Amino acid sequence: MELNNNICYSPEVAEAIKNDRPVIALESTIISHGMPYPRNVETAKLCEAAARELGVVPATCAILGGRLCAGLTPEQLEYLGRAGAAVTKASRRDIAVISASRGDGALTVAGTMILASMAGIRVFATGGIGGVHRGAQETMDISADLDELGRTSVAVVCAGAKSILDIGLTLEYLETKGVPVIGYKTSEMPAFYTRSSGFGVDYRMDDPEAIAAAFSEKLRLGIAGGMLVVNPVPEEYSMDKEKIDAVIEAAVEKAKTLGIKGKNITPFLLAEIKDVTGGESLETNIALVLNNVRLASRIAKAMR
């Protein structure tokens, strides 16, 4: 495959794409905005190692010095982790502005999908997608991730929608956008910290090859848009649903009281949940991300 001149590929990623070897995209918002230092950098490196162990090349995506980067060095991962929230959280609306100003951006799910598609990468592993926020009927707070899934042809592997969201409305929105939601070994939409949400998925598939075949057929037919593959958190790391729901409700109310909204709401809620649960949610977060990387790697290999 020919390389895109607008993308700064790492040598490893460039070689893999030119030689049609399997590659998966990884996001950088989880490094700068999703976890505290140094666990964020440790997790980023563990994710890359998990992909390589399965014979897949990881391409962590970010904007650095205005360059759209697919594949980062250990030093760049360290920089993103240490800088944290000082690095702009970058979605579709931000990419061109950050690039033109030679700035730095940690890419969200939507931002990573765009860069991955530009780079020729078709499979992307993340933690959980954004979605329709609770109370969106009044605030209209709906993540750009959902629109991106409806327009950009990348398969996104995640542990469902973050449980801080309105999962029922998120699924309704995805249906409107024509995004197929595939449950890996589950008929139910997982809720990030827990394996269950009470809402069903569109299709259940029990092997990565079937998922790869379905997405490959979507690409062959020229049907634009992504595919959402939901992969429940491993059972041993799944949190008690009633307990985490109560913690989330309290965190949402605290955010309202403090007037926190927009792109700042998710990092605030995740940090609040981590503190209240004594770090248990962070360990769950790390476990589910690694689980998603492994599934995404198997799907990418099956698409070759």
Q: Which of 27, 48, 148, 272 is catalytic?
A: 27
Rounded Cα gap, residues 277 and 291, in angstroms? 21
DSSP the chain: -PPPTTEEE-HHHHHHHHTT--EEEE-SHIIIIIS-TTHHHHHHHHHHHHHHHTT-EEEEEEEETTEEEES--HHHHHHHHHHGGGSEEE-HHHHHHHHHTT--EEE-HHHHHHHHHHHT--EEE-S-B--BBTTHHHH--B-HHHHHHHHS--EEEESBB-TTB-HHHHHHHHHHTT--EEEES-SB--BTTBS--S-B-SEEE-SHHHHHHHHHHHHHTT--S-EEEE-PPPGGGPPPHHHHHHHHHHHHHHHHHHT--GGGHHHHHHHHHHHHTTTHHHHHHHHHHHHHHHHHHHHHHHT-
Catalytic residue at 162?
yes
Please say if 148 is a catalytic residue. Answer: no
Catalytic residue among 48, 89, 162, 301: 162
- Return the sign of the alpha-carbon dihedral for residues 207, 292, 238, 170: negative
- Give me the active site residues, please: 27, 162
